[in-house]
Amino acid sequence: MQRNIILIGFMGTGKSTIGRNLSQVLGYPVMDTDEAIEQQEGCSIPEIFATRGEAAFRDLETALLASLHKHTGYIISTGGGIVGQPENRDLLKNLGYVVWLTADAEEIYRRTSRNSNRPLLNNDDPRKTIRELLDQRTPWYQETAHLTIETDTLNFNEVTTGIVESAQYHFSCCG
């Protein structure tokens, strides 16, 4: 395999951890789009949201994805809202094998509730925000993904193995 594996999904579904596991198994470097944007901009995602707004951050995501078209052999872990822009969905599909990691809303809340670095959840009712954003984004995740894996009941090694086997099959038969 020399194509990219792209991880999409809501915050708290395990993209960063699975990305690191896949990197160890396949020897591919990990590119985390949020980390790349923070490095490029010299400030954190919450700072970008606070000073420039979500729309500016989404534009940075699109520009980053467009710049990756010549990269192969990467694990690309994305921010949860990257699928909101229609052009991003096309860019993601063209970059490689797209895996949508899912979890139910309550599990996402449990996983994210201790992390204040989630600007969209810094409000009075984060559970409601999670449900609303999941409802909004689910069709976009479905449209973009080649594979969907529910992470609620699987451990990280099971998820990683499933992705590796599915990606190997996809690249061998489908390009």
Judged by average pLDDT, the poorest of 26-35, 40-49, 120-129 is 120-129
Please check whether residue 157 lies inside any domain of the structure. yes
Q: Is residue 9 part of a domain?
A: yes
pLDDT confidence of residue 112: 80
Please tell me the total count of domains within the chain.
1
Give the pLDDT score at 121.
63
pLDDT of residue 8: 97
81 belongs to a structural domain: yes
Question: Within 10 Å of residue 63's Cβ, how many Cβ atoms?
Answer: 11
For position 69, which CATH number holds? 3.40.50.300
Q: Classify residue 105: in a domain, yes or no.
A: yes
What number is the average pLDDT over the span 158-164? 89
- pLDDT (0 to 100) of residue 41: 96
Cα–Cα dist 3/10, whole Å: 23
**169 falls within a domain:** no
Q: Which of 22-26, 76-80, 91-95, 170-174 has the lowest mean pLDDT?
A: 170-174
- How far is CA 59 from its chain centroid? 16
Q: Is residue 170 part of a domain?
A: no
Question: Each residue of 8-25: pLDDT tens digit?
Answer: 999 889 999 999 999 999
H or E segment to which residue 7 belongs: strand 4-8
Per-residue model confidence (pLDDT) at position 71: 84
Residue 174 lies in a domain: no
Instruction: Classify residue 175: in a domain, yes or no.
Output: no
Mean pLDDT of 71-95: 93
pLDDT of residue 33: 94
Domain span including residue 21: 4-164
